[in-house]
Structure 1
Amino acid sequence: MRAAPWRRRVSVPLLVLAVAALLFAAVAHSALHTHSFVNVDLWLGLALQADPSPWVHAPMAFVSAVHGTLGLTLLSSVVVLVLWSLNDRPWAIVFATTMLGEALVNSGLKQIFTRARPTFSAYAAELHSYSFPSGHSMAAAVFYGLLALWWCDRLPRSQARVGVWAVASAMTGWVGFSRIYLGAHFASDVVAGFAAGAAWLALMLVLFNRADSARGSVR
């Protein structure tokens, strides 16, 4: 088993942090200030709302519900308890802290940008929080990113690790697309959510690396 990701070199997390932060800033500027994303946001949202299929709507609604605040809180709690029972307490602490921080950061970002929900969806009309960035997308990026990091630490072959990251990316993408499909978010909200989630996860790995190094130097 390899060393935990925050105990290895932080060059990759720092690179991910920089790229994700730049992407988030670019999407925020384009979507909310220059309105460059408006045509894409409206075209995709209206196209998906034009002829909804019940066969597609059901799995989209399901995955969206599972990855809401309550669902991810329950899933994260189960993961933390399992990690703790496996005596993998450092990972349990990292998982719990990172997911809790993600919820607080997303709430703060929504209050900063105060973007209204799409007006072309009856689903969005029932939601009372702001739209940018997508909380579901950000949380899914962090949740599945953490799971992938934990699982990859236990896989000896790089090919297997690629498979784990492919599944994690697919699940994250499914969650994000479900929010666009249901009309709960614009596409730019979802892209920003992915970027914010990646940036937050990378930042936490860097911070845990620094804290771990500080403890080691004290010893």
Structure 2
Amino acid sequence: MEPARSYLNPRTWLALAQRDIAPIAGMLGIALLLLAFAEIADDVGEGDTRAFDTRLLLALRASDPADPIGPAWFEQSVADITALGGFAVLALVALLACGYLAVQRKWGGALMLLVATLGGTAISEGLKLGFNRPRPDLVAHVVETTSMSFPSGHAMLSAVTYLTLGALLAHTQEKRRLRGYILGAAILVTLLIGVSRIYLGVHWPTDVMAGWCLGAAWAMLCWSIATWLSRRTETSAS
């Protein structure tokens, strides 16, 4: 009767759920995010999102299309937030994090972060060239832009970088509330950066939505592969 009771133990059930159910849930989440990206990309390609994009962009403008709603200090604050998703900032954050992991000899985590960020950058730039969608022309751009619009590189690469870092940090914590806080903070920063791109008039809303979906899917895929390889290594060593 003792073995039967052990399966009723909450800790035992939680351990089994994490080992068997979590990978399946992760793969399902990746599939749903990729499906959402594909749907958005298809609608963008057919021009079905124009009305939605236009309505939301203009809703964030005053009577003058060059003037975002809100006071000047708020506009400057949003510009500061959007800088957190810039290539230079994300590259610096990723390099510093990789250096920290390397100093601690956590080569697997450093390699995963490097692959996630470099791979995400390549995917983002490749898709921008493939879709070749112009930036919004309805409103003035508050900040300068140089690349094409779809998907949003800021939204995608901030999702890749901050969600991956959040997962790495959360993995080192034992308390569930602390893990939840770290992941929640990473998600919040990612969302704020994406919304800032729409407010500043440099991206269509669907650019940002597509960037979020693809960035989160890529981060989850890299984490899932790294976790699988780590467990396989541990099993082989034992």
Class of the TM-score when normalised by the shorter of the 2 chains: 0.7 to 0.9
The one of the two structures with greater contact order (alpha-carbon pairs below 8 A, sep at least 6) is 1
Where structure 1 has 5 or more consecutive residues not aligned to the other structure, the ranges are none
Between the aligned partners of 1:182 and 1:53, the Cα distance in structure 2 is 13
Q: Is the contact between residue 76 and residue 96 of structure 1 (CA under 8 Å) also seen in structure 2?
A: yes
**1:34: Cα distance to partner?**
4.9
Q: Which residue of 1 aligns with 2:6?
A: none
1:100-146 per-position Cα deviation (integer Å, ceiling 9, x unaligned): 11100100111111111000233279423110110000011111111
Between the aligned partners of 2:34 and 2:24, the Cα distance in structure 1 is 15
Q: Is the contact between residue 16 and residue 198 of structure 1 (CA under 8 Å) also seen in structure 2?
A: no
User: Which structure has the larger Rg over C-alpha atoms?
Assistant: 2
Q: Which residue of 2 aligns with 1:161?
A: 179
Change (3 A) 1:52 1:138: same
Secondary structure at 1:103 match in 2: helix
Change (3 A) 1:160 1:43: same
1:105 paired with 2:123, answer yes
Secondary structure at 2:190 match in 1: helix
Q: Which residue of 2 aligns with 1:147?
A: 165
Give the alignment's Cα RMSD to 1 decimal: 2.4
Matching of residues 73-92 of structure 1 within 5 Å? 73-92=91-110
**1:14: Cα distance to partner?**
1.0
Between the aligned partners of 2:165 and 2:220, the Cα distance in structure 1 is 14
**1:46: Cα distance to partner?**
1.4
Q: Tell me the amino acid that sits aligned with residue 167 of structure 1.
A: A
Q: Which residue of 1 aligns with 2:26?
A: 13
TM-score by length of 2: 0.80
Q: Is the contact between residue 123 and residue 183 of structure 1 (CA under 8 Å) also seen in structure 2?
A: yes
Q: Is the contact between residue 118 and residue 186 of structure 1 (CA under 8 Å) also seen in structure 2?
A: yes
Secondary structure at 2:60 match in 1: helix
Between the aligned partners of 2:143 and 2:88, the Cα distance in structure 1 is 20
1:114 paired with 2:132, answer yes
Change (3 A) 1:165 1:66: closer
Q: Which residue of 1 aligns with 2:205?
A: 187
1:78-101 per-position Cα deviation (integer Å, ceiling 9, x unaligned): 111112122222111111111111
Q: Which residue of 1 aligns with 2:41?
A: 28
Where structure 2 has 5 or more consecutive residues not aligned to the other structure, the ranges are 1-14, 63-68
Between the aligned partners of 1:216 and 1:186, the Cα distance in structure 2 is 45
Q: Is the contact between residue 114 and residue 130 of structure 1 (CA under 8 Å) also seen in structure 2?
A: yes
Q: Which residue of 2 aligns with 1:40?
A: 52
Instruction: Return structure 1 stretches of 4+ with deviation > 6 angstroms.
Output: 216-219
Name the % identity. Answer: 30
Q: Which residue of 2 aligns with 1:172?
A: 190
Count of aligned pairs between the two proteins: 213
Between the aligned partners of 1:71 and 1:150, the Cα distance in structure 2 is 19
Between the aligned partners of 1:64 and 1:152, the Cα distance in structure 2 is 24
1:35-90 per-position Cα deviation (integer Å, ceiling 9, x unaligned): 1x222211111121323421211121112123211111111111111121222221
Q: Tell me the amino acid that sits aligned with residue 152 of structure 2.
A: S
Deviates more, 1:185-194 or 1:73-82: 73-82
**1:187: Cα distance to partner?**
0.7
Q: Is the contact between residue 79 and residue 143 of structure 2 (CA under 8 Å) also seen in structure 1?
A: no
